[in-house]
A = this chain, B = another copy of it.
Amino acid sequence: MSLQIKIEKTKFPKPKPNQDNLGFGQYFTDHMFIMNYTEGKGWHDPRIVPYGPIPFEPSTMVFHYGQAVFEGLKAYKTTDGRVLLFRPRKNMERINISNDRLCIPPVDPDFCVEALKTLVNIDKDWIPEAEGTSLYIRPFIIATDPYLGVRNSKTYMFMIILSPSGAYYPGGINPVKIYVEPRYVRAVRGGTGYAKTPGNYAASLKAQDEAHNEGYVQVLWLDGVEKKYVEEVGSMNVFFKINGEVITPALEGSILPGITRASTIDLLNHWGVKVTERRLSIQELYEASENGTLEEAFGTGTAAVISPIGELSWEGKKMIINNGKIGELSQKIYDTITGIQNGRLKDEFGWTLEVK
Contacts and interface: CB of A to CB of B under 8 A. Distances in A.
A191 B203 contact: yes
Interface extent on A, as a size class? 35 or more
A100 B251 CA distance: 31
Interface string A148-161: 11111000000101
A202 interface: yes
A31 to B, nearest CB: 11
Interface string A1-33: 000000000000000000000011110100010
Contacts of A323: none
Contact of A200 (B146, B199, B206): B199
A190 interface: yes
A81 to B, nearest CB: 26
A183 interface: yes
Contacts of A225: 188, 224-225
Contacts of A64: 68, 70, 138, 140, 198, 201
Contacts of A151: 205, 208
Interface stretch (A49-57, A84-92, A120-128, A257-265): A49-57
A58 B152 CA distance: 21
Interface in A188-218: 188-192, 197-206, 208-209
A279 interface: no
A202 B62 CA distance: 9
Identical copies of this chain, number: 2
A273 interface: no
A314 interface: no
Contacts of A170: none
Nearest to A55: B53
A103 B205 contact: yes
A228 to B, nearest CB: 12
Contacts of A184: 190-191
A330 interface: no
Contacts of A248: none
Contacts of A224: 188-191, 224-225
A356 B212 CA distance: 47
A185 interface: yes
Interface in A59-113: 59, 62-68, 70, 101-103
Given A150-B208, A184-B190, 16 more contacts: A51-B58, A54-B56, A58-B161, A62-B198, A68-B202, A101-B206, A103-B205, A138-B148, A150-B201, A151-B208, A184-B191, A190-B227, A197-B199, A198-B202, A199-B199, A199-B202
30 contacts: A24-B148, A26-B147, A26-B148, A53-B55, A54-B55, A54-B56, A56-B56, A58-B159, A59-B138, A62-B198, A64-B70, A66-B197, A66-B201, A66-B202, A67-B201, A103-B209, A136-B148, A150-B205, A151-B205, A151-B208, A152-B205, A185-B189, A188-B191, A188-B224, A189-B224, A191-B224, A197-B199, A199-B202, A199-B203, A224-B224
Interface of A: 23-26, 28, 32, 51-59, 62-68, 70, 101-103, 136, 138, 140, 142, 146-152, 159, 161, 163, 183-192, 197-206, 208-209, 224-225, 227, 234-235
Ranked nearest first, the 7 interchain pairs of A and B with the lowest CB-CB distance are A199-B199, A25-B148, A66-B198, A185-B190, A53-B55, A66-B202, A65-B201
